[in-house]
């Protein structure tokens, strides 16, 4: 399965990175232009620092935007960073919640493998993940945070199970 084409059952990304990238790039270019035109003492170091910080910011945004999640039948496919992993729901033995700045993500334990599921970075990520887990899983062990998030998703009427 290619990582560049759309996967079967892929959920749409919820990240809206365009505004932040445009604003940060414009600010860095304006500041660099002003420094280059005025040439105060130490201007080259400031321009290098600003452009370096912009590159770091763009790399972080790019890596976050690559997170993907697809649910196709009993199989969950995820990509985080460069690695694409798939797991069948029957193999899942435990689920652990990880808090992120965008909301909770989950770590799925399947035997000796651990898969990071980026539910906070896709639309309907939490409800789709729990629907898949409850419909096809073999009653995996859920940690306290996962149980709390599942309860919240149920209370909001996002899943029926």
- Sequence spans of domains, the chain: 18-65, 68-155
Q: What is the pLDDT of residue 129?
A: 92
Q: What is the side-by-side order of every strand in the sheet holding 113-117?
A: 113-117, 103-110, 94-100, 141-142
CATH of domain 68-155: 2.30.29
Please, are residues 96 and 106 in contact by the beta-carbon 8 Å criterion?
A: yes
Q: What is the pLDDT of residue 148?
A: 94
Q: E strands of 75-117, at which residues?
A: 75-80, 83-88, 94-100, 103-110, 113-117
Q: E strands of 12-150, at which residues?
A: 68-72, 75-80, 83-88, 94-100, 103-110, 113-117, 141-142
For residue 38, give both structure tokens.
Answer: 């005025």
Q: What is the pLDDT of residue 6?
A: 67
Question: How confident is the prediction along the chain (161 residues), in pLDDT tens digits per residue?
Answer: 444 676 666 767 767 788 889 999 999 999 999 999 999 999 999 999 999 999 999 998 887 777 788 888 899 988 877 788 899 999 999 999 999 888 899 999 998 999 999 898 888 888 999 999 998 988 899 999 999 999 999 999 888 76
Q: What is the pLDDT of residue 160?
A: 79
Q: What is the pLDDT of residue 124?
A: 87
Q: Give, as one character, the DSSP assignment of residue 122.
A: B
Strand partners, 72: 75
For residue 149, give both structure tokens.
Answer: 């998030």
């Amino acid at each position: 399965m290619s990582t560049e084409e759309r996967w079967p059952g892929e959920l749409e990304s919820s990240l809206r990175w365009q505004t932040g990238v445009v604003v940060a790039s414009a600010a860095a270019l304006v500041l660099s232009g002003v420094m280059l035109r005025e040439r105060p003492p130490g201007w080259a170091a400031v321009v290098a620092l600003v452009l370096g910080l912009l590159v770091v910011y763009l790399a972080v945004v790019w890596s976050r935007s690559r997170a993907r999640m697809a649910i196709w039948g009993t199989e969950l496919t995820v990509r985080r960073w460069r690695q694409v992993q798939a797991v069948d729901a029957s193999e899942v033995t435990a689920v652990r919640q990880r808090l992120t700045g965008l909301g909770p993500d989950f770590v799925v334990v399947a035997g000796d493998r651990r898969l990071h599921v980026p539910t906070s970075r896709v639309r309907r990520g939490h409800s789709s993940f729990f629907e898949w887990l409850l419909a096809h899983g073999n009653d995996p062990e859920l940690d306290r945070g996962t149980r709390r998030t599942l309860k919240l998703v149920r209370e909001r009427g996002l899943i029926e199970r």
